[in-house]
Structure 1
């Protein structure tokens, strides 16, 4: 099967490429190859590649910047998705599209089901929700949250840097979600493709936590691996103490039961995957 992966240099794109099953003819492209905001360029590249399957792991993910740059975010997160979906409709192919917990408003107190009402709080969330609207029933939409990967630009690696530099730091404690290791997410996506899954499904690592609790876990596990010299003092702070241009959902845990039912496998706790990621990161810097 001829597969095109977008977002090749991103955390998930790289993980998808690394986890690609034997027998797939995979091409991976990045923004260096194709500007997804350039509709003509994207259509031309899709015509050349002629994939039977597109896994769209590319996105405009600068959440705060999008507040003043919503049109560019829309072009990448929504308009480009429509072009991909149309191309697959014309050839009988399939689009697998990765979206986000930011399509929800965070007002729930139980995990969001795939068919829950979307009500994004930010420009980023609005553009991602608009992208979802282009998918057909036979396509596959995967929503995820708090993605991180060894070597990537993410919360885990930012915390590691700050923990080496500072003896004390404050981390938001009133936003609740679920971390997701990109390596495991990539494996899940390929499994869903193999099982011909369609419709809307969620995947994040099992359990829920706050950014503060996540940071505490990072410190404990990283210190155990010798990645930081000491465990710094980590103070819980409120969202109001850490002002950002874009609003974040206060609760964005995703209900992943439909995904686990398809896979037939037990969910993996988020802290287990954090340990695996940190071990990989530690090995890469030795």
Structure 2
């Protein structure tokens, strides 16, 4: 009887370890849910901190909002994620995340008006036409299919290519180092953006786990001399899909900027900047 407590403790510990290993394995094979990405992320970027230090005083920095990445919802075609990147005093932009560079190019072309919204891309033309005749799903099933597009296993961290389009602060540009020929050449070859009124760039985001609490990534901005500068962030607020309007190259993404009126989010032109407190456009 004296050894009963030892046998019990050892067997209990043994079972605990086995359960932990099984739980860990289950997490690794869990299916990725893109809705986990939706929310607000506080952003840290050393290159951004340097821009603020050189372009505005320390007192003015205290008046700025915290840098933030907001991921709002899926694109209309369900193939990308729409959001906004706010680096007050440097960049205010709409962002699109997609699982591949090809898909990202297709989405940005559509947002820029270079591809008709109902035009099929190459990936959709490869057969399966008979399947469309048999599909008669309700709205709930269609909604689920949109999210299923992003399903991944967690043995590979969820990774997304990123494109942004917006405004670079004029003072930040004036104090930025000149763009290197390498940055300019690679940027022009990588993607084809048609609009010249707004600045744009590329990057990527990798979530460390499937719960999308933290991410690491890079960002490029030719006007600021950034080439794959490092940034990271953590989720401060999670939420469901948000239908807040966003703009790409000055045009409402949903094509209804006029109907939204003052409630809409219209990106300022290159000659304007966004007041961090009132969020109104200020023309210097």
Normalising by the smaller structure, the TM-score range is: under 0.3
Q: Which has the larger radius of gyration?
A: 2
Q: Which has the higher helix share?
A: 1
TM-score by length of 2: 0.25
Q: Which has the higher strand share?
A: 2
